[in-house]
Structure 1
Amino acid sequence: MSSILRGITLAILALPLTLPAQAAGVNQTLPPRVEQALKANKISSDALSVVMLPLTGDAAPTFVNADVSVNPASTMKLVTTYAALELLGPNHQWKTEFYADGPLVDGTLNGNLYLKGGGDPKLNMEKLWLLLRDLRANGVTKVTGDLVLDRSHFVQPDLPVFDDDGNDKNKPFLVGPDSLLVNLKALRFIVRNDGGKVNIAVEPPIASVRIDNRVKALPAGKCPGWPDVLYNPVADGDGVTVVVTGKLADGCSAQTYLSLLDHQRYAAGAVRAIWAELGGSILGIDRVAQVPDKARLLARAYSPDLTEIIRDINKYSNNTMAKQLFLSLGAEFRNEADADDAKAAQRVIRQWLAKKGLISPHLVIENGSGLSRAERVSARELGSLLQAAWRSPYSAEFISSMPLAAVDGTMRKRLRNTPVAGKAHLKTGTLNTVRAIAGYSRDGDGNVWAVVAILNHPRPWGAASILDQVLVSLYGQRNQNTAQR
């Protein structure tokens, strides 16, 4: 096939996903109010890519800077979650299991206790407690051997550590994926001033996390929205000591979430803390190894369905869960040629897109979460993906996983007191130099559109209001077109 003929063929394949047959022409200009918002914030229109595709009705689509390679930030999660819905299925679940390699006699396990991770993105403390409660109900009280963590489910990639111009490395949103991810590896610190005495608790109560309480107790007063309490973690042998300083008025409290331990120490510490609360004991050490072939299953827990998982990922833009899902795709479809599960996931997603006729030359996926400086896509490619998802058997699950404008998730405070409130499901994206939205919105006549608006700029001040104006203008656009006919 000649290169010219090949190009024509590719263009025909892409056409149904970019230009609806009923569309009367193509609009290549930004709405006037969006142009005004850009000028007001001193941002060039070249920095904004916009695609608006009518999924119902017969209005013209809009393509502005649609084929520019841009960083999509967290709107990349739409690629990962939609691919997972179709490739894994909406009822896909992950499992976490306890095994033993020795006999159980009168409540004593004479051997090692193995905890095998299956990549569950939502193995929270409640689920872990229930799993350990099942272990206790099955007759185990004392373990004479070691607590052994099996973290072999994923073939872990060596991906760059994200550093968005000095982000605190202890922030939970930076936590990486792991075969045995427990509670998103987050530690919750709660500080309270009760009667002039400051108490500090940490959940889960992991023994290797120690508190140096230096918070000054103040008399009763108005509780501030942002309490003056600071947390300074310091490595301390096999654990960490957190120096807590500041001041807190009587009757007030403060809390924060930090990620201070590696996956192995966090998982083992959480298991031991809950197991002790249940009256159990483990006499051996913590270590990492695979479950032996002859070990027997003691207890098993299943994750929520994928439908619930992608809701958490998209509604609240959970980076760690998105990375976990991305590697799960790789683990599910890995072959011998894949160096790791990230490479496997990248291959699988590209093959899936190709089968759907989605031509995506600009697409670059690093970890599937958008928390990356390397990930790229064009607005046209993302719009085409949304259009394909609208036709999917799982469109309802996909759309409902996104934040509802002015109602919940990362969109709960945006577009209030506008006609778009409650009428758009949109994934947001934010990095230091990126602001983005992508999803589905309605116009004034109730027709549904796929909308992508991505702004890449060194100083994206006021960009959220610019993107919101895209949606407000879209809502009024249909009414105007109707009036003109």
Structure 2
Amino acid sequence: MLPLASRVSTFSKELGLATLLTASLLIGQAANADTPNPMMKTVLSTAKKLSLDKDNLALAAVPLNGPGEAHFMNADQPFNPGSIMKVVTTYAALELLGPTYQWHTRIYTDGTIEGDTLKGNLYYVGSGDPKLTEERLWLLLRELRSMGIAHIQGDLVLDGSVFNLPNGIADFDDDGGNPNAPFLVEPNGLLTNLNVLRIRSRADERGIHSWMEPALAGVELDNQIVVRKYGSCPRRFQFDYTPSVTEDGLTKITLTGVLPEGCTTSSYLSILDQADYTGALLVGLWQQLGGTLTGQIREGLRPRDSSTELLATTSSNDLVTMVRDINKWSNNVMVRQLYLTLGARNRTPDDADDLAAADRTIREWMAGKGIDSSNLVFENGSGLSRKERISARQMGELLEQAWNSRFAAELIASLPLVAMDGTMRRRLGHADMAGMGHIKTGSLKDVRSIAGYTKDENNTTWVVVAMVNDMRAWKTEPVLDELIEQVHLAARVQPIHTASNQ
């Protein structure tokens, strides 16, 4: 589908000058935020009640397949989009990699198998898989045990070279005070289990019992939580943790706090870097399977010649499944893995690294669709950034293009359902709109945003985009929800303009 202005222009050429004047007036109305129609007046009224300056709000609402008038406000100004930037990355990936794309993580050896012993090194070659789980690693190692291998006389070599990042990755300027928060996990070729530990504690008549999932070799808990005889169970975790390294090189996590008897609590955190986490998980699972390793765990490269032999492979779910997990729950590290995969798969000698390759690849893809990428700023493709920028019009045009993509169904189904699931499950339930839209959300300090599709009462599907960049953004979700609700009521509150009745 052509962008709105192009569609009106093409239609006007066919119907003559009178229609051209009418259509031009319509475009002028759509672009003029100073004389908003009832729909926009309601949205701006909500913004005013929340002391939101309209200059800090960008909007785009465009009907796709039925009657309605397009509306834009500050639509050409670049805004920090927050997590709606994930829509750009996932849509690009569906078209550039294909919905059936998979990641393949492999184990090689440079040794020989004698009886139940592998004499030589084991090379674990990461693929950048966004969601390589503990369960899949267990199955991968069980395949080695099924071959009759029980003992490895050599090193476990971790090869995470799939991504070219010679200068590393810039840290996110987080202000949450928790450097171990799971949403801050950085991408890595060796990423496993999202690099997250779940620590659980239960208080009962025996005292406090604490454990971690998954169990990692070389990581231990120092449980200092105190049992309280009576009290209400906490809704969330109620303990503090302090990581440290012991003299013998073990990672120790000291737990402190108070937990009433009969209660269970848990917390998710990321303590180890990706290589240490994956190495500890592999060794822990290997030991659970009855295996032994006599060598070291170290990072290195698998020789790219005939000196190594492939032993086992684990393949990820397809890209469609990954995209759904990314967009429904706004998973940062998964989409950052995907962004780097786009770079790695399209790398050229002129690209400084895979971040630059991904940036170039997506811009070229957008240019092929006739979408201007001026003022667009990528940092990591996730929206977890103080630097990323996109305009409401650019996002709207991408969503229009996606509506006509071969993979429209796959992208749209990945977006949270209004009032039903994902990050939209608790929004707009009061408006009787459950399931009436697929909307990606975004939030950072000073940022709130939405992007996706919703239907009005005529069953017309609309693209809706809204971004707030304001120091009071945390309280502006009602403005964004009001836009979705007013689009749903569009047929009631505005005159209808269509190609057929002009």
After TM superposition, the score normalised by the length of structure 1 is 0.94
8 Å Cα contact 2:67-2:460 kept in structure 1:
no
8 Å Cα contact 1:14-1:358 kept in structure 2:
no
| CA distance in structure 2 between the partners assigned to 1:341 and 1:112 by the alignment | 29
Within 5 A, what are the aligned runs for 1:62-211? 62-156=71-165, 158-211=168-221
8 Å Cα contact 1:109-1:143 kept in structure 2:
yes
Q: Supply the AA of the counterpart residue of 1:60.
A: E
8 Å Cα contact 1:433-1:457 kept in structure 2:
yes
Q: Which residue of 1 aligns with 2:407?
A: 394
Q: Supply the AA of the counterpart residue of 2:83.
A: S
| CA distance in structure 2 between the partners assigned to 1:273 and 1:21 by the alignment | 65
Identity across aligned pairs (percent)?
44
Q: Supply the AA of the counterpart residue of 1:342.
A: L
Instruction: Please tell me whether residue 441 in structure 1 is matched to residue 454 in structure 2.
Output: yes
Q: Supply the AA of the counterpart residue of 2:256.
A: T
| CA distance in structure 2 between the partners assigned to 1:14 and 1:355 by the alignment | 17
| CA distance in structure 1 between the partners assigned to 2:474 and 2:191 by the alignment | 36
Q: Which residue of 2 aligns with 1:339?
A: 352
CA apart distance, 1:469? 0.6
Within 5 A, what are the aligned runs for 1:34-433? 34-156=43-165, 158-237=168-247, 238-292=249-303, 293=305, 294-433=307-446
8 Å Cα contact 1:420-1:442 kept in structure 2:
no
Q: Supply the AA of the counterpart residue of 2:123.
A: Y
Structure 1's unaligned 5+ residue stretches are: 1-11
Within 5 A, what are the aligned runs for 1:12-51? 15-16=5-6, 21=11, 24-25=26-27, 26-27=29-30, 28-29=32-33, 31-51=40-60
Instruction: Specify whether residues 17 and 443 from structure 1 end up closer, same or farther in structure 2 by C-alpha distance, changes over 3 A only.
Output: same
CA apart distance, 1:75? 0.5
| CA distance in structure 2 between the partners assigned to 1:81 and 1:197 by the alignment | 47
8 Å Cα contact 1:196-1:218 kept in structure 2:
no
| CA distance in structure 1 between the partners assigned to 2:9 and 2:292 by the alignment | 64
SS at match of 2:324: helix
| CA distance in structure 1 between the partners assigned to 2:320 and 2:10 by the alignment | 29
Structure 2's unaligned 5+ residue stretches are: 13-22
Quick check: 452-461 or 303-312, which moved more? 452-461
8 Å Cα contact 2:173-2:386 kept in structure 1:
no
| CA distance in structure 1 between the partners assigned to 2:147 and 2:49 by the alignment | 66
Q: Which residue of 1 aligns with 2:19?
A: none
Quick check: 271-280 or 20-29, which moved more? 20-29
CA apart distance, 1:104? 0.5
8 Å Cα contact 1:342-1:367 kept in structure 2:
yes
| CA distance in structure 1 between the partners assigned to 2:53 and 2:341 by the alignment | 40
CA apart distance, 1:227? 4.5
8 Å Cα contact 2:156-2:296 kept in structure 1:
yes
| CA distance in structure 1 between the partners assigned to 2:412 and 2:53 by the alignment | 31
8 Å Cα contact 2:60-2:464 kept in structure 1:
yes
SS at match of 1:42: coil
SS at match of 2:430: coil
| CA distance in structure 2 between the partners assigned to 1:414 and 1:342 by the alignment | 34
| CA distance in structure 2 between the partners assigned to 1:296 and 1:271 by the alignment | 19
Between the two proteins, the alignment pairs up a number of residues equal to 474
CA apart distance, 1:348? 0.6
Cα distance per residue 1:156-213 (max 9 Å; x no partner): 2533201222441111110111111110100110111122410110112113222121
Q: Which residue of 1 aligns with 2:16?
A: none
| CA distance in structure 2 between the partners assigned to 1:76 and 1:276 by the alignment | 41
Cα distance per residue 1:341-397 (max 9 Å; x no partner): 111111111111111111121211110000001100000000000000001000000
SS at match of 2:431: coil
| CA distance in structure 1 between the partners assigned to 2:251 and 2:469 by the alignment | 39
After TM superposition, the score normalised by the length of structure 2 is 0.91
| CA distance in structure 2 between the partners assigned to 1:425 and 1:362 by the alignment | 27
| CA distance in structure 2 between the partners assigned to 1:473 and 1:391 by the alignment | 24
Cα distance per residue 1:299-345 (max 9 Å; x no partner): 00100000000001100000000100000001111111111111111
| CA distance in structure 2 between the partners assigned to 1:343 and 1:451 by the alignment | 29
Instruction: Specify whether residues 470 and 257 from structure 1 end up closer, same or farther in structure 2 by C-alpha distance, changes over 3 A only.
Output: same
CA apart distance, 1:271? 0.2
Q: Which residue of 1 aligns with 2:17?
A: none
8 Å Cα contact 2:102-2:316 kept in structure 1:
yes
CA apart distance, 1:404? 0.5
Instruction: Specify whether residues 167 and 385 from structure 1 end up closer, same or farther in structure 2 by C-alpha distance, changes over 3 A only.
Output: farther
8 Å Cα contact 1:141-1:280 kept in structure 2:
yes
Instruction: Specify whether residues 311 and 143 from structure 1 end up closer, same or farther in structure 2 by C-alpha distance, changes over 3 A only.
Output: same
SS at match of 1:192: strand
Instruction: Specify whether residues 347 and 146 from structure 1 end up closer, same or farther in structure 2 by C-alpha distance, changes over 3 A only.
Output: same
Q: Supply the AA of the counterpart residue of 1:251.
A: G
CA apart distance, 1:239? 4.0
Q: Considering only aligned residues, what root-mean-square deviation do their CA atoms show, in Å?
A: 1.9
| CA distance in structure 2 between the partners assigned to 1:364 and 1:198 by the alignment | 49
8 Å Cα contact 2:445-2:474 kept in structure 1:
no
| CA distance in structure 1 between the partners assigned to 2:325 and 2:275 by the alignment | 24
SS at match of 1:417: helix
8 Å Cα contact 1:38-1:44 kept in structure 2:
yes
